[in-house]
Amino acid sequence: MVDARIEPVGDTGIIVVLGDELSIETNQRVHALDQALHDMQIDGVLEIVPALASLMVAFDPEVVDHTNLIEQVAGTLSAEPEPSGGRRWRIPAHYGGASGPDLAEVADRMGVSESTAVDEHADTNHLVMMLGFAPGLSYLGLLPERWNLPRLDTIKPMVPAGSISVAIRQSVFCATPIPTGWWTIARSPFLTFRPHAPVPFLLRPGDVLTFEPITHRELESMTQLGDGFVVRPEPIE
């Protein structure tokens, strides 16, 4: 039996807290529970919102009541987690320069060269732990321990869509322009939110990303393609 807290949140939701600390293992349990609850197709469930170490179920209390729903979710927790069905993406990104104005200081703080920092970031298997904050914005983790950088003291008013910023061993990969208090080290031409496309959100929690460093010239030519620039994922073995 998995250790978890299940409680009402507001009057039309319940939250399942699987842990109070962030870890890849806990996050993967969130994705497994997400998948299991989707598969159950519980009447009255409107929306399932997975987060870093918790998951919220929004429901219509006119169709299913709190007690009944909590019992059904608790029953799911005892099952062995299934593979989450995540996919692997290799995503081009231009590190440093105007795309990553904070790369030099990030490398300096870690006591490594910029190229070492770039290689380590690009080669990490980044798990999409959560989408949040802004449309299609993904929280990726976890980087090696030396990437446990503090957030910036000030919020940068806006970084462009596709920017990749780091702090506290995580990366955020934004799909729209956002203000951020994290260190921006790269930008990708691949925009994962396409409001009018048949599939508007390309990344899903549970997906795994690596980045492939590209030049500024490549970034510009790929960016010019707009939605025509496509990266295709592979299933995770």
Partner 1 sequence: MNAHLEILDAGPQCTIQDMGRPGFRRFGVSEGGAMDQVGLACGAALLGNDRRAAAIEMAATGLTVRAGADVRIALTGSPMDARISGRHIAWHASHELPAGAVLTIGAATNGVYGYLHVGGGVDSEPTLGSRSTHLRAGIGGLDGRALAAGDLVPVGEDGGGGSGLQLVQQPDDELPIRVVWSPQADLFSPETRSRIESGTFVMTGHRDRMGARVDPGSPFELAPDATRVLSTPVVLGDVQVPGDGMPVVLLADRQPTGGYPRIATVISADIARFVQIRPGTAFSMRVVSTADAVEALMVHRSRLRSLADRLRPLIRTPTASELLSENLISGAIKWDDDQP
Place of tokens 């003291």: 153
Smallest distance from partner 1 to CB 200, Å:
6
**Judged by CB under 8 A, which stretch of 11-19, 102-110, 210-218, 228-236 contacts partner 1?**
11-19
The amino acid at residue 81 is P
199 binds partner 1 (CB under 8 A): no
Our CB check for partner 1 shows the closer of 118 and 159 to be: 159
- Among 29, 35, 45, 54, the residue binding partner 1 under the rule CB under 8 A is 54
**Judged by CB under 8 A, which stretch of 44-52, 73-81, 83-91, 150-158 contacts partner 1?**
44-52
56 binds partner 1 (CB under 8 A): yes
4 binds partner 1 (CB under 8 A): no
Q: How many CB atoms lie within 10 A of CB 121?
A: 26
- Among 2, 4, 44, 58, the residue binding partner 1 under the rule CB under 8 A is 58
Our CB check for partner 1 shows the closer of 22 and 110 to be: 22
Our CB check for partner 1 shows the closer of 95 and 173 to be: 173
Smallest distance from partner 1 to CB 207, Å:
12
- Among 17, 104, 110, 208, the residue binding partner 1 under the rule CB under 8 A is 17
Q: How many CB atoms lie within 10 A of CB 74?
A: 14
> Which of 40, 22, 35, 65 has the alpha carbon at shortest distance from 170?
22
75 binds partner 1 (CB under 8 A): no
The amino acid at residue 169 is R
127 binds partner 1 (CB under 8 A): no
Our CB check for partner 1 shows the closer of 53 and 107 to be: 53
Classify burial at 210, counting beta carbons within 10 Å of its beta carbon; exposed 0-12, middle 13-18, buried 19 or more. middle
Residue numbers 76-115 binding partner 1 by CB under 8 A: none
- Number of chain residues interacting with partner 1 (CB under 8 A): 46
CA atoms within 13 A on the CB side of 79: 17
171 binds partner 1 (CB under 8 A): no
Residues contributing to the site for partner 1 (CB under 8 A): 5, 7-13, 15, 17, 20-22, 34, 46-56, 58, 61-62, 65-66, 130-137, 139, 176, 193, 195-196, 200-201, 205
